[in-house]
Amino acid sequence: MIFTVAIDGPAAAGKGTISRAVAARFGFHHLDTGLLYRAVGALGGDPVAAARGLTAADLARDDLRSLAAGQAASRVAAIPEVRAALVEFQRRFARREGGAVLDGRDIGTVICPEAEVKLYVTASPEVRARRRWLEVGGDEARVLAEVRERDARDMGRAEAPLRPAAEAVVLDTSVLTAEEAVAEATRLVAARLAGG
């Protein structure tokens, strides 16, 4: 069975948690596409060459969840040649046998416009900054400033800006627990699998 779930949204909205849970629930393959961009950014040097030569080992680095890696990912994701180098990898992954869940910034709009389910997971900048701060520490006001800066860059870039796909179901997790958000996403996927 080929079945794609595209989950997009800004940083720290909960899309990773939801994506992993949905993939586990339905036995689908999972790809956090942000890891591709984080790895390219963390490798340093020429980002286009890094994207073209990305390996599985690069995706297993310990430092890919850091704030610095997230900022680097946002910067390299704005480079059209980097995006082009990673698009085909993502598309092949999405249409593999057994179903796939991909989470990122442009899955439903650019990578997999044919996805059977499209979700846009969001939350207020303040809620997302608090979540990120609890995860990585540091100065909370600075984390909020970085979240807003990253949102502006991701939503304002010329190539594949962050926005909900026209058919996406918007899931605002500002006031939802992780369990409630996962339950709603799972319900939506199950309904589509059942032909709804």
Coil, helix or strand for 14?
coil
In b/e form, how buried is each residue of 154-185, taking b as 16+ CB within 10 angstroms? beebeebebebbeebeebbbeebeeeebbebb
* Residue 56: pLDDT over 80: no
Binding site, by residue number, is 9-17
Binding site for ATP, by residue number, is 9-17
pLDDT band (50, 70, 90) for residue 70: confident
4 exposure class (CB count in 10 Å sphere: 0-12, 13-18, 19+):
buried
Cβ 1 vs Cβ 98: under 8 Å: yes
* % of the chain at pLDDT higher than 70: 99
- Can you say whether residue 107 is alpha, beta or left, with left for phi > 0 and alpha for psi between -120 and 50 degrees? alpha
Q: How far apart are CA 116 and CA 2, in angstroms?
A: 9
**pLDDT tens digits, one per residue of 109-158:** 999 999 999 999 999 999 999 999 998 888 999 999 999 998 998 899 88
Predicted local confidence at residue 183, as pLDDT: 98
Domains of the chain: residue spans and CATH: 4-193 (3.40.50.300)
Predicted local confidence at residue 196, as pLDDT: 65
In b/e form, how buried is each residue of 115-150, taking b as 16+ CB within 10 angstroms? bebbbbbbbebebbbbbbbeeeeeeeeebbebbeeb
pTM of structure:
0.85
